[in-house]
Amino acid sequence: MAELSAEVCAASAAGRENRTAQAWRTVLGWLGFLFRVLLQILQSGTPSWAQLLSFVGVRHRLLPASSSDPAFHPLPTDAPPPPPPQLRQDPLDKLTVVLDLDETLVSAYEASSVPIVVRSQAIEAGVKCFELECISMDKEVEGKQKVNHVTVFERPGLQEFLQQISEFADLVLFTAGLEDYARPLVDKIDVENRFSLRLYRPATVSTEYRDHVKDLSCLSKDLSRTVIVDNNPFSFLLQPLNGIPCVPFSAGQPYDEQLMGVILPLLKHLSVEKDVRPALYERFHMPEWFQNHGIHSSDGTSLGMGNRNFTAD
């Protein structure tokens, strides 16, 4: 019995020691908490309520998270892959657009031959026209140079067409017309001097098939970025892969939309092509067109003067 009493007393003493130790641990915990609060005040000023509550493991659901709390800025689990390296591309040379004059950009008639109804319809539709005096190669009976009076109709959209093309291409005028006629006419339609070069009939060549052919090799040896627009396909028979045949324009077509609706979009497309010839071949197949019109090469690979390449490369 005495032994049992001694064990009970020992257990009671041990329990009191444990409660005393637990109380001291609690006191030390609060002292540590107060020390961290004091340290926070000294380091960054008065802490927010959210920060004070977080010290004791409480996060109030109505309090916004602190922007400085690293728990709200987790690192992404899957970092996005780095962007692929961009391949360096050499800039393309500026496109060269060669434009025919008569029946491509304008339509010209002797003033006395234009029917009044045609002139009236064109003007009513908004077609621009003007009168021009051109020196003729013919001479009067008295030996004086003959002057022709010409009425010129601009193809609808001409000015806007030239303005937009000049933004991404070099413009060249190439006409089979004589300079005495064509120069003053071009002065009228090109008041902004958008044409970097003007070529007239003496710049054309004769071939076994046609005269007054426009040989584009006079512009450059490399024609990969050169295109010619002409209502007469035989004008570019020496470089069939560089040609765009267009519908001829006359004063009786006041609502023509070739320039802005057909030619301009095509030229914009070609302006980003490294070589215009494959794209033009796929669209027009001009070599076959020439063959169907009786123009054949002697060896099957070239056409006309100078053995120029006849196939797309």
The model's pLDDT over 20-37, given as tens digits with 9 standing for 90+, comes to: 666 677 766 767 666 665
> H or E element: which one contains 9?
helix 2-44
Q: Which of 244, 239, 229 is nearest to 308 (CA)?
A: 239
Quickly state the pLDDT bin for 39 (edges 50, 70, 90).
Answer: low
Q: Which of 204, 231, 213 is nearest to 295 (CA)?
A: 213
Q: What is the pLDDT of residues 136-150, one digit of tens each?
A: 766 666 767 788 899
- For residue 222, indicate whether it is catalytic: no
Give the pLDDT of residue 147.
Answer: 85
Q: Which of 179, 234, 232, 228 is nearest to 206 (CA)?
A: 234
Give the pLDDT of residue 179.
Answer: 94
Q: What is the pTM of this model?
A: 0.68
In a shared domain, residues 99 and 28? no
- Out of 67-71, 97-101, 183-187, least confident range: 67-71
Domain extent at residue 41: 1-49
**Active-site residue among 100, 170, 230, 256?**
100
Average pLDDT of the segment spanning 163-182: 96
In a shared domain, residues 210 and 285? yes
CA torsion sign for 122, 124, 125, 131 is: positive
Q: Which of 251, 230, 108 is nearest to 178 (CA)?
A: 108
In a shared domain, residues 217 and 100? yes
State how many domains the chain has: 2
Which DSSP state fits 254?
T
In a shared domain, residues 190 and 274? yes
- For residue 100, indicate whether it is catalytic: yes
Q: Which of 109, 122, 116 is nearest to 255 (CA)?
A: 122
How far is CA 37 from each of CA 48, 70, 81, 304, rounded to the nearest angstrom?
11, 18, 42, 96
**Active-site residue among 69, 78, 90, 102?**
102
Read off the amino acid at residue 116. I
* Token duo for residue 194: 């958008």
With vertex at residue 47, the alpha carbon angle to CA 41 and CA 51, rounded to the nearest 5 degrees, is 125
Q: What is the pLDDT of residues 209-229, one digit of tens each?
A: 999 999 999 999 999 999 999
In a shared domain, residues 99 and 27? no
Residue 81 lies in a domain: no
